[in-house]
Structure 1
Amino acid sequence: MPVTVGLGAASPDEKIRATVRAVGREVDLTLFSCPGTAGSFGDAVRVVEAVHPEAALVAALAAGDIDAAVRGTLPASSTLAALKAAAGVDHLERIALLETADGHLFLLAPVGVDEGWTVADKVRFVEHGRHIARSFGLAGGVAVLSGGRLGDIGRHPAVDRTMADAELVARLTGAEHVEILIEEAARRYGVVIAPDGISGNLIFRTLAFLGAGAGHGAPVVNIDKIFVDTSRASPDYTNAIMLAKSLAESRKP
């Protein structure tokens, strides 16, 4: 049976219609949108109308009516609040699928400013990242970043701490500590682990909003359902849906 994916569609804009066209029959797609919008997306896609489409999307995911969900153009605050409530967690941990300006895809974590501050956090991100990378067919290997080169040890305690943490994470997981060389990590590895959530968020924003790269969605990894968070600044949601499909297929027997 095809994978069923729900996509949030706050309004019938061109990004949603382009995604519907691009996905085609790759998944069984259902849009979750506001009342009165069903006829605006074309005849080839099912639309669930609701006064609060974000709540309807999360409810369908929690009930197992869909295999995976993608936030799409629904508002972040209310959608993620509904997801946290349904999943019974007080925070969400995400791993972002990014693309450089010259077309290299890689996963980056942490990307939330309150995430990834301990060695244990980063070890979990390595484990989740490897699974997602295999599911989506990304390059093998995990790169762990720190705040400088090894020759910078002693210049500042904060830098020393990031390098000690990166060395420990690498030893515990079999990843590679690549120091501060993000430019090499993004091209050689399928998963890149930032020193903390602030630096990860800055890497994501610099690449996507200043560096002519793109963000293609961020699976939430600390819940038992497949939910891919997205930015409304994304050109479309095709890669996010295909990522959700890959994750759903990896869970099927």
Structure 2
Amino acid sequence: MISIRSFFPSLPENSSSAADSGQIISLNNRPPDDVYDKIKKETGADKIYRLSVFLTDKEQLLFAAPAGPDIISGLEDLEFCAKAGFSLIQKLGIKPEIGIISGGRAGDLGRDKTVDQTILTAEALEAKLNSEGISAKHYTILIEDAIKETNFLILPDSLSGEMILKTVAGVGEGVEIGNILLLKPPVGETMSDSRIYIEQLTKKADLKNLDILKEVLAILHL
């Protein structure tokens, strides 16, 4: 199995998991159903989303958000995932290139209200991020084009994120590295808890690579 160590330029060659600061917490493969409620209570988070990290079958490092456990409720939640993920990926020493995915092409507007909403939301997110100096491009439903030019996918909703990860890394030839939980604070508040939670979502997750991801997070004191 390929090691992801070379993907992180900020990771010293001779580092080890002993550098763990104790602030990076690994959840079990099948944590209790109430684990996310407990995390919310301990940290004050309002919602929890996953930033999924995996390799495609061509061994391309790819980030994607959101996935569950919580459900996206609109543009504000997607904006949070995009900005929180962007900042975290930067800290990992990787330049994030955002590709926004929606449920259809511009020509599909008017065919279905649900699809329309994903397109309009994606266009609004693209405009907002670019206006704030964060480069992002709306690739409509063409995820196959997005991964040719970007390394951070923003998906229409949490269910899409779950399905894509499980398809690529669960039954496909991709490899799940792990998931980093993005803790969204209540409106108008900030998170003071510095702990980072990581987990594996599929049985095919590469635990050695998950340890490397944990190592990077610990060394950088994210």
Instruction: Give the TM interval when normalised to the shorter protein.
Output: 0.7 to 0.9
TM value normalised by structure 1: 0.68
Q: Does 1:26 align with 2:16?
A: yes
Judge which range, 85-94 or 117-126, deviates more.
Answer: 85-94
Within 1, Cα distance between the matches of 2:31 and 2:159?
Answer: 22
CA distance in 1, matches of 2:29, 2:114: 38
Q: Deviations over 1:175-199 (max 9, x none)?
A: 2111011122234212111111112
Alignment correspondent of 2:138: 177
After TM superposition, give the deviation of residue 169 of structure 1 in Å. 0.5
Alpha-carbon distance in structure 1 between the residues aligned to 2:29 and 2:164: 23
Larger radius of gyration: 1
**Given residue 188 of structure 1, which amino acid in structure 2 is its aligned partner?**
E
Preserved CA contact (<8 Å) 1:228 1:244: yes
Question: In structure 2, do the counterparts of structure 1 residues 211 and 138 end up closer, same or farther at CA, with 3 Å as the change threshold?
Answer: farther
Counterpart position of 2:168: 207
- Indicate the SS of the match to 2:168: helix
C-alpha RMSD of the superposition: 2.6
d(CA) in 1 for partners of 2:204, 2:95: 23
Q: Matches of 1:115 and 1:25 in 2, distance apart? A: 37
Q: 1:74 to 1:128 in 2, by over 3 A?
A: same
Counterpart-to-counterpart distance in 1, 2:114 and 2:69: 17
Is 1:147 matched with 2:103? yes
User: What percentage of aligned pairs have identical amino acids?
Assistant: 27
Question: In the alignment, is the contact (CA less than 8 A) between 2:29 and 2:199 conserved in 1?
Answer: no
Report how far residue 243 of structure 1 moved.
2.4
Question: Higher mean Cα deviation, 227-236 or 105-114?
Answer: 227-236
Aligned residue number for residue 242 of structure 1: 212
SS class of match (1:92): strand
Residue of structure 1 aligned with 2:51, choices 68, 73, 95: 95
Q: Normalized against structure 2, the TM-score is what?
A: 0.76
Contact 1:139 1:188 in 2 (8 A): no
Distance in 2, matches of 1:204 and 1:119, equals 22
Mind listing any 5+ residue stretches in structure 1 that lack a counterpart?
A: 1-22, 31-64
Give the gaps of 5 or more residues in structure 2: 1-12, 131-135, 184-190
The answer on whether the counterparts of 1:136 and 1:243 sit within 8 Å (CA) in structure 2 is no
Partner AA of 1:136 in structure 2 = L
Matched AA of 1:213? G
SS in 1 for 2:111: coil
Q: How does 1:71-82 map to 2 (within 5 A)?
A: 71-73=27-29, 75-77=31-33, 79-82=35-38
Match of 1:126 among 63, 82, 85: 82
Task: Summarize the alignment of residues 210-229 of structure 1 with structure 2, pairs less than 5 Å apart.
Answer: 210-222=171-183, 224=193, 225-229=195-199
